[in-house]
A and B are shown apart, each in its own frame.
Chain A
Amino acid sequence: MLSYLVRRLAGILPVLLVVSLLVFLFIHLLPGDPARLVAGPDATPQDIAAVRTDLGLDRPLPEQYLRFLVHAVRGDFGQSLKNHLPVAEVIGLRFWPTVILTVTAMAWSTLFGLAIGILSAMRRGRWPDYAGMVLAVSGLSFPAFWLGLLMIDLFSVRLHWLPTGGFEGWKSLVMPSLSLGLGVAAVMARFSRSAVLDISREDYVRTARAKGLAERVVIGRHVLRNALIPIITMVGLQFGFLLGGSIVVETVFSWPGLGRLLVDSVAYRDYPVLQAEILLFSVEFILINLLVDLAYAAANPEIRYQ
């Protein structure tokens, strides 16, 4: 296990480096002079020159990259162009709302997705299967932001049950987490159905049935326990999907999280914040994938020795 961990970590380092290089180059790929962007539209040539020296933009690119890397490791991404607060502080404020939203969405969607998928597999070819899979393919095709708007229309504007947006108490969490989780619930339902069906075809399941075990024991002890390994992997992979989805859903519900901050920083051309956010999202995504692989390797010794 330890050697597997070391190998995986070694494999991730180059990816992290290239990602950080791309994020660093991002500000240089933008049309226009980065110093002018940072100094703002009303800056005089002297201001721009000062900013250039200040940020080290007059240094050679490799040196700038090293400097960026060292600062990034310390969590220093400069100042927001919008409100001149340190970028780390701006992002820190938005971090927890997004974590709360994604974890809630993950929790309900995994629960419902699994239930629907397992039920569909157990009643294969009968109406619960069809109903479950119709729900799943619909959920997969449903635009999250449209679901959000429909729910606001019904539950906020017409029924006055829930607030239209914001971040106050559990009531404001209901609709955003439902919109965000729908797609994941659909993927989980489809995936768990096929995982359960795959395992059901194994010889040991037939043996378990043949020796006369009750169906719930066959399903509970032999099928589900083994199907859970790929399912757990899938749960981890869906976190990346949720990170992406939160960008749109947070915009619909004015949720004060990282996703809306990202959209705002594109609109305001707040490049230091944008740069830090892209890096943060990708690093989170890479780390989640690593954790998934490690969990998978812990559960399945074959993987470790490949």
Chain B
Amino acid sequence: MSQLAAQDAPAVRSPVTEFGRRFLRQKVAVVATLMLVAIAATACLAPWIAPFDPAAADYDTILAAPSARHWAGTDAFGRDVFSRILFGARISLMVGFVSVGMGSLAGILFGLASGFYGGWVDGLFMRACDVLLAFPGILLAIAIVAILGPGIDNVIIAVAVFSIPVFARLVRGSTLALKTAVYVDAARALGAPDHILMLRHILPGTLPGVIVYCSLRVGTSILTAASLSFIGLGAQPPSPEWGAMLADGRSYIGVASHVTLYPGLAIFLTVLAFNLVGDGLRDALDPKLKRP
């Protein structure tokens, strides 16, 4: 190892290679990445690999314990819990990625404009963030769902909205630091218009922080969406969403504990994988970035 390092030392490495080396050195994060790939693959392939139809009721085998035929047992309608978990992965990953995608995109735009223009634009956006942050996360989501009505689509919107201020503040901070950088001044002197300055010269510099937060936020968003479904405001009953499955299984605790055990385990492992990857990315991209 030391020999390798000595050989590599004089070579100039691009930031991307350097990041790759630092990320691969963290075994936990690499394992978590593989876990995520596996979860994503099962989600994509669910219709082909699931042993049963997730919606097919079988009233001869209700609440059956895990067995060779039903790996995670069956629920109160005789549906195969394992197949439902596989299909549930599609919902959870979709909610996580879409909500964080929308929230981070809006947050990045607000943050860039805020930091770049300063003045009243900054004042307006940052006060808007203060207001959004004045509602404890899930409360804002509940209020939005109360207005739009329960359902997974509205949960995605709700979770996206409460991700916006986090990203806006983060990007604003890095933009403030970067807009006075020499290379940005140089680009400005060459006559680059504002949108080029922001998108081509400042934006890439803010991305390391954004990527780390995205990974951590996807985990949080999946957890929040599952919580909302659990309290009855998210995905509605026939859906194999993990939080909704837990809500269904609540009544059978002690009778058929597997109905609550496995969907919960699926949420836990998925969120854990996102958190571990996020930690790994943070350490590889910027050791100084801290999780709030």
Binding site for B on A (CB under 8 A): 14-15, 18-19, 22, 26, 29-31, 137-138, 140-146, 149-150, 152-153, 157-158, 190, 194, 237, 240-241, 243-245, 247-248, 251-252, 262-263, 266-267, 274, 278, 281-282, 285-286
Task: Tell which of B127, B227, B250 touches A149, judged by Cβ atoms closer than 8 Å.
Answer: B250
Q: How close is B139's CB to chain A, nearest CB, in angstroms?
A: 5
Chain B residues with Cβ below 8 Å from A278 are 135, 139, 143
In the complex, the chain A residue whose C-beta lies closest to that of B128 is A18
Contact indicator B230/A248 (Cβ below 8 Å): yes
Residues 215-237 of chain B: 1 if any A CB is under 8 Å from the residue's CB, otherwise 0? 00001000100110011110000
In the complex, the chain B residue whose C-beta lies closest to that of A271 is B146
Contact indicator A267/B232 (Cβ below 8 Å): yes
Contacting A at CB under 8 A, from B243-280, are 243, 246, 249-250, 253-254, 257, 260-261, 264, 267-268, 271-272, 274-276, 279
Contacting A at CB under 8 A, from B134-150, are 134-139, 142-143, 145-147, 149
Q: Given that A145-B246, A247-B231 are known contacts, is A262 also in contact with B134, CB under 8 Å in the complex?
A: no
Give the dominant DSSP class at B's interface: helix
Contact indicator A247/B142 (Cβ below 8 Å): yes
Contact indicator B136/A143 (Cβ below 8 Å): no
Contact indicator B230/A285 (Cβ below 8 Å): no
In the complex, the chain B residue whose C-beta lies closest to that of A142 is B268
Chain A residues with Cβ below 8 Å from B292 are 237
Additional A-B contact list (8), CB under 8 Å, known A30-B146, A240-B136: A15-B127, A141-B272, A143-B267, A146-B268, A248-B227, A263-B142, A263-B233, A266-B142
Contact indicator B139/A282 (Cβ below 8 Å): yes
Residues 28-51 of chain B: 1 if any A CB is under 8 Å from the residue's CB, otherwise 0? 000000000000000000000000
Name the 10 nearest CB pairs between A and B, nearest first: A157-B254, A146-B264, A141-B272, A244-B136, A141-B271, A244-B138, A240-B136, A248-B227, A149-B260, A243-B136
Q: How close is A165's CB to chain B, nearest CB, in angstroms?
A: 11
Chain B residues with Cβ below 8 Å from A266 are 142, 145-146, 233
Pull 20 A–B residue pairs with CB atoms less than 8 Å apart, ordered by A: A18-B127, A26-B143, A138-B272, A143-B227, A143-B243, A145-B230, A150-B260, A153-B257, A153-B260, A157-B253, A157-B254, A158-B254, A194-B290, A247-B139, A252-B250, A262-B139, A262-B142, A274-B143, A278-B139, A285-B135
Q: How close is A195's CB to chain B, nearest CB, in angstroms?
A: 9
A14 to B130: give the CA distance in the assembly, Å: 10
In the complex, the chain A residue whose C-beta lies closest to that of B267 is A143
Assess whether B68 is interfacial by the CB under 8 Å rule.
Answer: no
Binding site for A on B (CB under 8 A): 127, 130-131, 134-139, 142-143, 145-147, 149, 219, 223, 226-227, 230-233, 243, 246, 249-250, 253-254, 257, 260-261, 264, 267-268, 271-272, 274-276, 279, 290-292
Q: Among B147, B227, B249, which residue has the most Cβ atoms of chain A within 10 A?
A: B227
A145 to B143: give the CA distance in the assembly, Å: 20
Chain A residues with Cβ below 8 Å from B268 are 138, 141-143, 146
Q: Given that A18-B131, A278-B143 are known contacts, is A263 also in contact with B231, CB under 8 Å in the complex?
A: yes
A241 to B254: give the CA distance in the assembly, Å: 30
Q: How close is B125's CB to chain A, nearest CB, in angstroms?
A: 13
Chain A residues with Cβ below 8 Å from B253 are 149, 152-153, 157
A22 to B219: give the CA distance in the assembly, Å: 28
Q: Among A26, A149, A194, A282, which residue has the most Cβ atoms of chain B within 10 A?
A: A149
In the complex, the chain B residue whose C-beta lies closest to that of A267 is B232
Chain A residues with Cβ below 8 Å from B147 are 26, 29-31
Q: How close is A134's CB to chain B, nearest CB, in angstroms?
A: 9
Q: How close is A284's CB to chain B, nearest CB, in angstroms?
A: 9
Contact indicator A243/B219 (Cβ below 8 Å): no
Q: Given that A15-B127, A29-B147, A146-B260 are known contacts, is A285 also in contact with B246, CB under 8 Å in the complex?
A: no
Chain B residues with Cβ below 8 Å from A141 are 219, 223, 268, 271-272, 274-275
A198 to B249: give the CA distance in the assembly, Å: 45
Contact indicator B136/A251 (Cβ below 8 Å): no
A15 to B149: give the CA distance in the assembly, Å: 27
Q: How close is A48's CB to chain B, nearest CB, in angstroms?
A: 21
A279 to B31: give the CA distance in the assembly, Å: 44
A240 to B243: give the CA distance in the assembly, Å: 22
A143 to B232: give the CA distance in the assembly, Å: 16
Q: Given that A15-B134, A141-B219, A153-B257 are known contacts, is A248 also in contact with B231, CB under 8 Å in the complex?
A: yes
In the complex, the chain A residue whose C-beta lies closest to that of B145 is A266
In the complex, the chain B residue whose C-beta lies closest to that of A234 is B292
A14 to B124: give the CA distance in the assembly, Å: 12
Task: Tell which of A22, A145, A157, A158 touches B131, judged by Cβ atoms closer than 8 Å.
Answer: A22
A137 to B146: give the CA distance in the assembly, Å: 32
